[in-house]
Structure 1
C-alpha cells in the first residue's frame, strides 16, 4: 500500500501539530507514509470563489505531487472533496482521474479502508462535543443528516468510541453549520460570526469541555468566536485525540 500524506496549506501554516498527529497515527497502524515535499494548496479557495480556471496551475502541481500513490490521505473533508469532485481545471487524463479517485479524508481512510476501531494508546477523559463539518456530512457522507430518515451513524464517533475515558455530549443541533464556509466567512462576516457563536453555545450548553472535529478550519472559526465571547471552550482535532493527546 503506497500512501501519501496531504496536509492542507492552512494546517501546515497554523496547525502543524495536526499534520504531525496525522502522520504518527497512520504510522501506528504500520503504514509507510510518504510526504511529497513540493505540495502546496489543492486549489479549493480559488475554485470556491468562482475562479475555477485560475486554479489550474495549483491543481496541476497537486496532480504531479500525488500521482502514483494508492491512497492520498488528508485531515480535511473540504480539501479532499475538492480533489475528488472539483479538480476540474485540468484535462481529465487517466492520471488526473487516478489522483481524484485515490483521495481519502483521514476519518474515512481509518474507518472504511483499514477498519480501525481500537486505539489502545489513546485516553481522553473529557466530555466531548463532536462537530462534523458540512463537507464531511453532506459531501463525504461520514455521518447521517438529521433531515434524512434512516439509521443514525457517525464514522468519527465510531472511531472516538475506541478511545478510553471519552464521554460524548450531544448539542441540540448537531449537524448545523458553524458558519465558517471558507470564503463565506469573509464575504458574509457578520452572519458567519453569529453562526459560530451559536455553535459554540450549543456545545457548551450540552456540557462539552472539548469540541472535537476532523476539520481544523471549522475549529479555527469556532475557536476565534469562543475567544471573542470569552467562552470557556477548548478545541482539538480528531487526529490528535486518536493519536493519544490527553488535552
Structure 2
C-alpha cells in the first residue's frame, strides 16, 4: 500500500513532531510513508470563512499532489473532515482522493486492522475528543482503542469530554469571551482528572487547551495522541 502523509499547516509550522510520530508508527508496522513536497494548505481556513472560490485552487492542488496513493494519512480531524466533506462539493474531481484520505486512527483501525502499535508510555493520560473528529468524522472510540493498547499507560476518563474546548478556528477570535469561558470549563475538567498528559487528535485544539493549562500552571502536558503511540517506553 502506498501511503502518503499530509502534515497540515498547523503541524508543519508548529508541531512537526506529530508528523514524525505518524511516520514512526507506520514504519514500525512495516509500511513505507511518502511525503509529497508539493503539498500545501487544505483550504479549510478559506472555505470556513466564506472564501470558497479561493479554496478551490488548493483543493485542485491537493488532488494532483496525492493522486496515485492508496491512502493519505492526516494527523488532524479538522483537516480530514475538510477534505472528505467539502472537497467533493468544491471540486468533483477531488472526490476520489478525498475517499482515500483518513485520520490516523481510521487508517490504523479500519484500513490496516491494527489496534496495538507496539507503544509504551508510563504516564496518566486523559483524552479529549475534538469536535471535527467526534461529529464530522465520527471517530467514536478509535483513538481511545489505540491508547488502551499502549503498555504502561493509565487512562483516566474526562468528564464532559464531548463538550467543545472553545477553539473552533476563527470562533476563538470572533467570540473571545465565549471561547474563553468554554476553555475555562474544559481546563477545569482536565485538571480534575489528575492526569499528567492531555491527548487529542488535533493540535489546534491542544494549543488552545494547552495554553489555558499552562497559564494556570497546571503541570498538565498537551500531546497529540500520535506522539504517545510513537513512544516505546525508552523515550517516554
Report the TM-score range of the alignment, normalised by the length of the smaller protein.
Answer: over 0.9
Matched with 2:132 is 135
Q: For 1:123-202, what aligned pairs fall within 5 Å after superposition? A: 123-143=120-140, 154-202=141-189
Query: What stretches of structure 2 of length at least 5 have no aligned partner?
Result: none
Output the TM-score relative to the length of structure 2: 0.94
Q: What is the aligned residue count? A: 234
Measure how far apart 1:238 and its partner are. 0.9
Deviation, structure 1 residue 227? 1.9
The two structures have a TM-score, normalised by structure 1, of 0.90
Q: Deviations over 1:71-108 (max 9, x none)?
A: 11110011011001101574413xx2211111100011
Aligned twin of 1:203: 190
Between the aligned partners of 1:157 and 1:222, the Cα distance in structure 2 is 19
Cα displacement string for residues 146-183 of structure 1 (whole angstroms, at most 9, x for unaligned residues): xxxxxxxx111110111111111112201111111111
Deviations 1:120-152 (A, max 9, x none): 3x2211111101111111111111xxxxxxxxx
State which of 98, 111, 124 in structure 2 corresponds to 1:100. Answer: 98
CA distance in 2, matches of 1:91, 1:158: 34
CA-atom RMSD, angstroms? 1.4
Cα drift, residue 194 of structure 1: 1.9
| Per-residue deviation, 1:21 | 0.7
Q: 1:233 is matched with which residue: 210, 220, 232?
A: 220
Runs of 4+ in structure 1 deviating by more than 3 angstroms, as ranges, are 88-91
Distance 2:200 2:137 in 1: 14
CA displacement at 1:33 relative to structure 2:
1.4
Matches of 2:17 and 2:43, distance apart in 1: 22
Q: Aligned equivalents of 1:65 and 1:189: distance in 2? A: 36
Contact 1:59 1:89 in 2 (8 A): no
Contact 2:60-2:91 at 8 Å conserved across structures: no
The answer as to whether partners of 2:124 and 2:156 remain within 8 angstroms in 1 is yes
Match of 1:78 in 2: 78
- Whole-angstrom CA distance in 2 between matches of 1:192 and 1:66: 35
CA distance in 2, matches of 1:15, 1:75: 11
